[in-house]
Amino acid sequence: MDNHGQDMYRLAKRLFPICRSITGDGVRDTLSILGEIVPLKTYEVPTGTPVFDWTVPQEWNIRGGFIEDENSKRILDFAWNNLSIVGYSEPVDQIVSREELLEHIYSEPAQPDAIPYVTSYYKRRYGFCMTENQRNALGNGPFHIVIDSELKDGALTYGEIILSGESQQEIFLSTYICHPSMANDNLSGPCLLIYLAKMLSELPRRRYTYRIVFIPETIGSITYLSKNYVHLKKHVVAGFNISCVGDDRTYSYVASRYGNTLADKAAKNVLSFHAPGYQAYSFLQRGSDERQYCAPGIDLPLCAICRSKYGEYPEYHTSLDDLTLISEAGLGGALEVYWKCLMGLEHNYCYRVTCLGEPQLGKRGLYPTLSRKGSANEIRTMTNFIAYADGTNDLFDISNIIHVPVDRLIEIADILRAGGILERMPEARTG
Ligand code: ZN
């Protein structure tokens, strides 16, 4: 596979400066750039639309903002870093005292060089975010504070790609596009998913239909589900929430509510070979859109594979989560893991050997072919595959039992099927 590391990183760099939020032009600009790689359909859901227990909020856009000290010296500017203004800040243009200003300043004392990422979507306020060092260096004032923002009835925007397959059963892939300039959380997610979509779109045949969405986190997944959950519940056989997939440090897995879906099975299997020391988190440590997709009554078979998971790395939700934190190799590794999961799912059937007793491989030209590769292991893998191809084990089960990754088993299954000694059971097992 082409690991697209460079492409994904370059895309992250291009998207990085855009100020995204849960609504607004930053989301639209981001979707339009993603759509250059694989065309996507955008949807606009009007402010005020009821979505389950929530309501689509007003749309927020921001043009700029700053703080100037008593000498008109600019000490903070939205143009320098778009984390500097609290997301969904209402507009302000005032002269304020030092005390008044401090009530609207957010900083992170434990990380004195980091600008924290702060939002206030559902309570009207305004605020500025700065490093603890900047806060400590504030003069006596007064200060001129300006936020040139707008909250108005508009829409919540999201993007969707449907790649149809031979079956109407679906694989559901979701990521969010609502964070301003931060890299691992969250630009890595959309950058990976759009290239995953590109690779899927280039497959000569797809068993499954792929439903791929780029949405604002929480309110976006709730909005999407409220419109589509009946269809999703009926058709989705496995899904992944793709987030925090850009750094190099580790691999993580976040389970579905009970950790027992086909997606969980694929994720755990692939990670056990690709990154055996991966960090496993239960649904109790959820934090992203798996909260909605696995909620009671929705119960989609969906889990998440991350590199350093949200909330678990020091730069999380600060200005330190910048383009130096993610890498081509980090993104490429995560793409490879997701690709292996999807290709495993594409080939996931229960398999059954067609003869009684061990088949004679030599008679079918299989033994010598493998001998020429000089590997007794290959033959052992093949006979082990056959030994567990009793019609009850799917590809992931067999992989787990015989300790061979699914991407190798896919090749072996093809050889054995071509040799007429292995068949797929008619129904794919989905759990
Ligand atoms: Zn986040």
pLDDT tens digits, one per residue of 68-112: 999 999 999 999 999 999 999 999 999 999 999 999 999 999 999
pLDDT of residue 153: 98
HEC profile of 130-181: CCHHHHHCCCCCCEEEEEEEEEECCEEEEEEEEECCCCCCEEEEEEECCCCC
- Rounded to the nearest 10 degrees, how much is the dihedral formed by the CA atoms of 36, 38, 43, 44? -20
Please name each of the domains of the chain with its CATH number: 2-57+155-346 (3.40.630.10), 61-152 (3.50.30.90), 350-424 (1.10.10)
CA of 44 to the centre of ligand 1 (A): 22
pLDDT of residue 363: 86
CA of 161 to the centre of ligand 1 (A): 23
Render pLDDT for 364-404 as a digit per residue (tens, 0 to 9): 888 755 555 556 788 899 999 999 999 999 999 999 999 99
- Which of the 8 DSSP states describes residue 413? H
CA of 310 to the centre of ligand 1 (A): 6
User: How far, in Å, CA of 184 to CA of 84, rounded?
Assistant: 19
236-241 and 170-176 as β-strands: parallel, antiparallel, unpaired? parallel
pLDDT at residue 429 tops 50: no
- Ligand 1 centroid – CA 149 distance (Å): 22
How do residues 300-325 score in pLDDT, each as one tens digit? 999 999 999 999 999 999 999 999 99
List the shell of residues around ion ligand 1, using CB closer than 5 Å: 185
Percentage of the chain modeled with pLDDT above 70: 97
- How far is it, in rounded angstroms, from Cα 68 to Cα 304? 43
Q: What is the mean pLDDT of the chain?
A: 95
Residue 430 has pLDDT above 60, yes or no: no
> Which one, of 135, 120, 127, lies nearest residue 91 by Cα?
127
Angle between helices 406-418 and 328-346 (to 10 degrees): 40
Query: Measured between alpha carbons, how far is 310 from 212 in angstroms, rounded to an integer?
Result: 21
Distance 347 CA to ligand 1 centre (A): 33
Task: Calculate mean pLDDT across residues 290-296.
Answer: 97
How much distance in Å is there from the Cα of 244 to the middle of ligand 1?
Answer: 9
User: Rounded to an integer, what distance in angstroms lies between the CA atom of residue 387 and that of residue 351?
Assistant: 11
pLDDT at 431 over 50: no
Write the pLDDT tens digit of every residue in 257-278: 999 999 999 999 999 999 999 9
402 CA → ligand 1 middle, Å: 38
Per-residue pLDDT of 147-175, as tens digits, reads: 999 999 999 999 999 999 999 999 999 99
Burial 236-259 (b: 16+ CB within 10 A, else e): bbbbbbbbbbbbeeebbbbbbbeb
With cut-offs at 50, 70 and 90, classify the pLDDT of residue 3: confident
**Which pTM does this prediction carry?**
0.95
Within 13 Å, how many C-alpha atoms sit on residue 418's CB side? 8
192 Cα: distance to centroid of ligand 1 (angstroms) = 16
Give, as one character, the DSSP assignment of residue 283.
G
Q: What pLDDT is recorded for position 229?
A: 97
